[in-house]
Amino acid sequence: MTTRPLDALTIAYLGHYDPDYARNRILRKALERAGASVVQITDRRRFLARTPHLARSALNAHPDLILVGFPSQSDVATAKAVSLATGAPVISDPLTSLWETELDRHGVSRRSVSGLRYRFTDRVSCSLADQIWLDTQTHIDWYAAEFGIPAGRFRRTWIGADDEIMKPRPKRSVDTLTVFFYGTFIPLQGIEHIVDAAGLVEQEDERIRFVLCGHGQTHAQMRDRARGLALGNLEFVPSRPPGELAHLIADSDVCLGIFGSGEKTQRVIPNKAFDALACERALITGDTPAARECLRDGEHAWLCPPGDPRALAAAVLEASMDPEARARVARAGHELFEREFSLDALTRRLPPLIKELLD
């Protein structure tokens, strides 16, 4: 029988996280493939109601390691208390800063009471964790500098994609060239630039169709913007579960990442980018330091300046006019995905991070 690197290891996956959210689902699958026994301990009630249950359940699991799932910040203290009782080290997976996320969504101001509370929570949760997982080195550099946390405590852990769901499939519809985006319509995603780019593309080629899937903060504004431009080439569709999203991606020719003009856009690579690579579809996303950590422009994806609908429209038109280039980029992106971001790749990459702590 083949020994796997995390055999006989019990991991308490703790927090108020959503087990079905891509980040949490992908990490759990990769850890289990590596041999770990992952005990999911999740409670989505408010802090005071969930904390005794989380702590008691984690103690009963007798973990060798505690992983606090995204969003991790408010449950790291609970994990630390369990750690003091059991000796199990704590990994925090914040994925994003609560403070920066609320600033980006215009939910708080920098010096408001709520803003300072989010910032305090980010900083304290990092100081309590033995190791912190973030998605890009650019994000790690910012986090370490912004919150005064030693850079050596962070580890880059790509988001990747669940390739049991997101996988290459033949396109069912071949009549039109479809440009696909899915998201939660937050400012980070820069959907206003996608809508404006659709208007510019329509002036050049009416055969290109844009499909925007999802719902969220700016959804109503984006529909109003599209109506104001009288776009005939753009369709809004409701949010879909991952299995249906995979088929929508398969029925597209080009998939879009993020194009917001805020600072956070510079530091992250979204789920949707990895999903496009996993499904072997040509990707266009913002040209950012984070994207440049792994994507080469014109090879694995087309990168264009964030916040620039003209550049985005030009990239869409370039991809539409050259099917051979589109196929080449999609193929190279998928090969990169299999090497670096697949479940198998994460299964190889996570055990050394964990063994650092256990050793």
Cβ atoms < 10 Å from Cβ of 171:
12
Give the distance from CA 168 to its chain's centroid. Answer: 20
Note the pLDDT of residue 172.
79
Distance linking the first and last C-alpha atoms of the chain: 25
The candidate with the shortest Cα–Cα distance to 166, out of 260, 295, 289, 29, is: 29
Assign 313 a pLDDT band (cuts: 50, 70, 90). very high
Note the pLDDT of residue 176.
85
Provide mean pLDDT across the span 137-161.
97
Residue 173 in this model has a pLDDT that exceeds 80: no
Bridge partner list, 92: 68, 132
Rounded (to 5) percent helix, strand, coil in the chain: 50, 15, 35
Q: What is the pLDDT of residues 3-35, one digit of tens each?
A: 799 999 999 999 999 999 999 999 999 999 999
Q: What is the pLDDT of residues 68-102, one digit of tens each?
A: 999 999 999 999 999 999 999 999 999 999 999 89
C-alpha to C-alpha distances, 208 to 133, 183, 315, 359, nearest whole angstrom: 39, 20, 13, 55
Which residue ranges does the chain devote to CATH 3.40.50.2000? Answer: 10-160+343-358, 177-340
The candidate with the shortest Cα–Cα distance to 79, out of 96, 65, 97, 66, is: 66
Provide mean pLDDT across the span 142-169.
97
Bridge partner list, 237: 213
CA atoms within 13 A on the CB side of 8: 3
Q: What is the pLDDT of residues 253-270, one digit of tens each?
A: 999 999 999 999 999 999
- Matching CATH number, 177-340, of 3.30.230.10, 3.40.50.2000, 1.10.10.2840, 3.10.20.70: 3.40.50.2000
Assign 115 a pLDDT band (cuts: 50, 70, 90). confident
Bridge partner list, 100: none
Note the pLDDT of residue 108.
82
CA distance 127 to 86: 19
CATH 3.40.50.2000 is right for the domain spanning 10-160+343-358? yes
CA distance 125 to 254: 39
Instruction: Please state at what angle helix 113-128 crosses helix 76-86, rounded to 10 degrees.
Output: 20
Note the pLDDT of residue 107.
82
Residue 1 in this model has a pLDDT that exceeds 70: no
Note the pLDDT of residue 3.
74
Burial class (CB in 10 A: 0-12, 13-18, 19+), 315: buried
For all residues of the chain together, what is the average pLDDT? Answer: 96
